[in-house]
Amino acid sequence: MRPAAPNVETLHMIETPLRAGREEPTMPDGRGYRMRGAGSTVVAISPQALWEIVMDEQRLAAAIPGAETLHRADRDEIRVYAADVGIGVGKIKGTYRVSAAFAETIAPSSLVLFGGAEGPFGNSTGEGWVDFRPVEGGTEVSYAYAILISGFVARVGGRLLDAAANTLIDKFFARLAKAAATV
């Protein structure tokens, strides 16, 4: 569904106030495994319809692989989603408390997210950019992320973590497309 992850410079990323002067999301400071990624896919609905799915916690929860719960936990007028998500990397599986703060929302075209996860085998923190662009056949969704992973799971190895991230992203977009089909 998703082509090989292109470099963020090859994507159609939008310059927004929070991204001004930056070519990619900023990697958090600290020790651990540093994971970067970028890519794009097309979802067969309009940017506005896709935006409405992302802003609806029930429909978004249905698109997140392993989501056991998802609820709003807004802070300081910023939309924040908090979720318990079952995540597994190889035989290392557990439920992680995940949060994502929508630090910048420009409807229906772009998001800047800050968030992370805490669980039995490690923690993560990071930044992500998501853009919706109308194209023939629907909406091109471009994304880029920078995540710092620490704890036991960070020692598992980069290739395994990168493969797990790509699998989760593919599953998310497949489930998002399914949610879009009901619009």
Average pLDDT over residues 165-172: 88
Q: Do residues 123 and 31 lie in contact, with contact meaning Cβ atoms separated by under 8 Å?
A: no
- Our CA angle for 50, 74, 164, nearest 5°, is 55
Q: What is the pTM of this model?
A: 0.88
**What SS3 class is residue 135?**
strand
Please give the domain boundaries of the chain with CATH numbers for all domains.
8-181 (3.30.530.20)
Q: Tell me the pLDDT band of 183, cut-offs 50, 70 and 90.
A: low
Helix (H) or strand (E) holding 38: strand 33-43
For residue 56, give Cα distances in angstroms to 74, 94, 138.
14, 26, 19
**Residue of 127, 134, 96, 97 whose CA lies nearest to 113:** 127
